[in-house]
Structure 1
Amino acid sequence: MYKIDFTEPHWLIYTYHTIGGVSLCINLFGIYLLTFELKELGAFRYYLMLFQVVCSLADITITTLSSIVPLYPLFAISSYGILALWLDVSAHYCLINVGVWAYLEMESLLLCFFKKHQTIAVIIDVHVIPKFIPYFCYLMAIVFPAIPCVGLDFLTVQEEKQLEYINMTSPEYYTKFASLPNFSMYKESNYLYGVIIITFIEVSVLIALLVFFNMDLVRMMVRLKSQISAVNYQRHREAIQSLVIQTFVSVICSAPTSCFALALALRLEHSQLIAELMLVVFSCHSSTNIISLLIFSPPYRRFLEKSFKRNRRQISVHVHSQSG
């Protein structure tokens, strides 16, 4: 019998809400910067803005709308988010909602790389992708998240049969599950592991494409330098730097999901706590992303430096006026 905590995890819910509130403020600040302050990035900033909007919606979904709580090492989850508690949406569809937004977040970052890659490719006339390929990629962007979602939909136990299924497979947990306000359970089978493997492969493909665009952009920038003005070159360079930073942060903050999967596969004694901690770390990724840009990305850093100098000047004028 595994040790599973069926009580409402107040610490996790409060942490979700705190992270969600902080992330919303930081993401809105990032959207404001891209809209009004970082105009030197040109039209490309609108793609970065799309990524930031998707990040904001993903954060709201993870921390507020869904608030998924794992019941591992069993293949079951509960939800304490607005969708479940206020609108009676099943925990299964709350999880699907989280998964879809996580996919869209990675795909929107990949779109930013693709647009910047093709902008430079057209200038130097190298690696220009035929026009029909992007349409195929847009179709795959819809298919990728749909495959595991449909697979999970077939594997989830129907709501009216969940307690009956638990009574047959894990009768020792029947009373505990019966007390939960909202939960979903999945049939443990090779098909479930197949869905997990497919999801892993799809995510690996997206990461591989990000790495490819990163590496190819570095090579293309060498040729670009001699073909455009120094100002335009610097603008492209800083946009790519911002993308690289966001990719690095996304990969670092997404790494806990691997630990999450490992804990589940090995059926570790504290799998549930490990899974909860990994979800908390993952929910911090978009706010960490903006903070990293403010520290390391030149356009964002220049904005901070200008704001700091302006505020210091205003304080100095105010002090002199008071002393006078």
Structure 2
Amino acid sequence: MSIAFSPSFWLIAYYYSIGFISLIFNVITILLIVFKSYKLDSFKYYLLAYQVSCANYVLQLTILFQPMPLFPLLGGYCQGFLATYLGIWAHYMITINIASAVIEVELLTICFIMKQQSLSLIINKHVIPESLLYTGAGAFIYIPLSVFLTFRQITMSQEDQMAYIATNHPEYHRNFEELQNFAIFHFNSWCYYLVVVTISGGLFCGGAAIFTTADMFRMMKDLQTRVSRSSLKRYRATIQSLIAQLVVSMMLVVPLTTFVALIFNKSEYAQAIAQFCLAICALHSIVNAGVLILSTSQYRNFLARKLPQPKFFKSSSIHPHGRVQLIATM
């Protein structure tokens, strides 16, 4: 088993680059949702919450925390702003970051459900009872909280960490003494519980997104006689945008699932695989923001008007005979 303890230069540079670019993309997207959305009832605010969660997760990952995995040893350390300048324990940062990723996936699922319900209320069909919605809201609160508390159960105290290293991995004792901020996790029964929660939550969110999408497309026929053509077109575009964002969310779900698999697989390449997974997680927010803008006509058209246009032509004029004369710049 070989572990690299020095920070990976390419990953640090990647974190900062992607973090700042992602922050710009997310701020633009959030402003577009707030000021340039059509009247979308309360759905606008669910979409806004999801976009804010994307920005929050990537800001944590790339700027504030910057986690560095120590696989195949179950642990890691942080290099970000909060670790370097405020000395916050890596355990808290890693746990909060994972819980934030879970919340992000949940909010996307809520967007699907609430959009489906907004259409259901129009045609009075497949309306979910409020009691069931409240139960679902409780489950969405329970899952990230459960993940947070589970990590509390598998994390060693700071006092026990060095004793564990000295007993089980004495060859790395000096390396860990040089680390300023790290966390070591127990491999115990709570890890299996974490796997069950991860798989169950993932299946539920995926199933809910697929079911509501299929149901919304079936509703389109009933909506044709109840709403205007422009509204129908807007509903269809919103559904397609949600589907695109669901596909992009796989850039977050698949790496997180891979992390769970690495807990049980002591591969010598686990550290490199984990770093690659973190790089994918950091990139997904930029891709999601781009997909949302490109798949939403009002956002796309607004930016097309505001962005500087290539000056291939200096001016254009229409002659009385109807011919358009283009005066090229020389």
Shift of 1:312: 5.7
Contact 2:96–2:148 at 8 Å: present in 1 too? no
**Structure 1 pair 44–148 and aligned structure 2 pair: CA distance change class (3 A):** closer
Question: Is 1:58 the equivalent of 2:57?
Answer: yes
Supply the distance in 2 between the matched residues of 1:185 and 1:158 (Cα, whole angstroms).
8
Q: Percent identity?
A: 30
Which residue does 1:118 correspond to in 2? 117
Question: Is 1:276 the equivalent of 2:293?
Answer: no
Which residue does 2:202 correspond to in 1? 203
Question: Is 1:13 the equivalent of 2:20?
Answer: no
Superposition pairs of residues 61-80 of structure 1, within 5 angstroms: 61-80=60-79
What value does the CA root-mean-square deviation take over the aligned residues? 2.5
Contact 2:91–2:155 at 8 Å: present in 1 too? yes
Superposition pairs of residues 1-324 of structure 1, within 5 angstroms: 2-39=1-38, 41=40, 44-307=43-306, 311=309, 316=314
**Structure 1 pair 23–81 and aligned structure 2 pair: CA distance change class (3 A):** same
Once the two structures are overlaid, the 10-residue window that deviates more, 207-216 or 94-103, is 207-216
**Structure 1 pair 258–195 and aligned structure 2 pair: CA distance change class (3 A):** closer
**Alignment: residue pair count:** 320
Output the TM-score relative to the length of structure 2.
Answer: 0.89
Supply the distance in 1 between the matched residues of 2:46 and 2:259 (Cα, whole angstroms).
31
Shift of 1:199: 2.3
**Structure 1 pair 122–42 and aligned structure 2 pair: CA distance change class (3 A):** closer
The C-alpha deviation readout for 1:292-323, integer Å capped at 9, x for no partner, is: 23334433333344446x846897459x99x8
Supply the distance in 2 between the matched residues of 1:47 and 1:150 (Cα, whole angstroms).
26
**Structure 1 pair 134–315 and aligned structure 2 pair: CA distance change class (3 A):** farther
Supply the distance in 2 between the matched residues of 1:97 and 1:307 (Cα, whole angstroms).
38
Shift of 1:189: 2.2
Secondary structure of 1:127's counterpart equals coil
Output the TM-score relative to the length of structure 1.
Answer: 0.90
**Structure 1 pair 314–57 and aligned structure 2 pair: CA distance change class (3 A):** farther
Q: Which amino acid aligns with 1:71?
A: L
Q: Which amino acid aligns with 1:26?
A: F
Supply the distance in 1 between the matched residues of 2:299 and 2:22 (Cα, whole angstroms).
17
**Structure 1 pair 128–40 and aligned structure 2 pair: CA distance change class (3 A):** closer
The C-alpha deviation readout for 1:113-163, integer Å capped at 9, x for no partner, is: 222111110111111111122222222221111112212101211001110
The C-alpha deviation readout for 1:202-243, integer Å capped at 9, x for no partner, is: 232222212222222122222222222112211211221221
Gaps in structure 2 of 5+ consecutive residues: 317-325
Contact 2:237–2:295 at 8 Å: present in 1 too? no
Contact 2:248–2:288 at 8 Å: present in 1 too? yes
Supply the distance in 1 between the matched residues of 2:298 and 2:242 (Cα, whole angstroms).
12
Contact 1:245–1:297 at 8 Å: present in 2 too? no
Shift of 1:285: 0.8
Supply the distance in 1 between the matched residues of 2:258 and 2:134 (Cα, whole angstroms).
35
Secondary structure of 2:127's counterpart equals coil
Contact 1:40–1:235 at 8 Å: present in 2 too? no
Once the two structures are overlaid, the 10-residue window that deviates more, 68-77 or 31-40, is 31-40
Query: Larger % of helix: which?
Result: 1
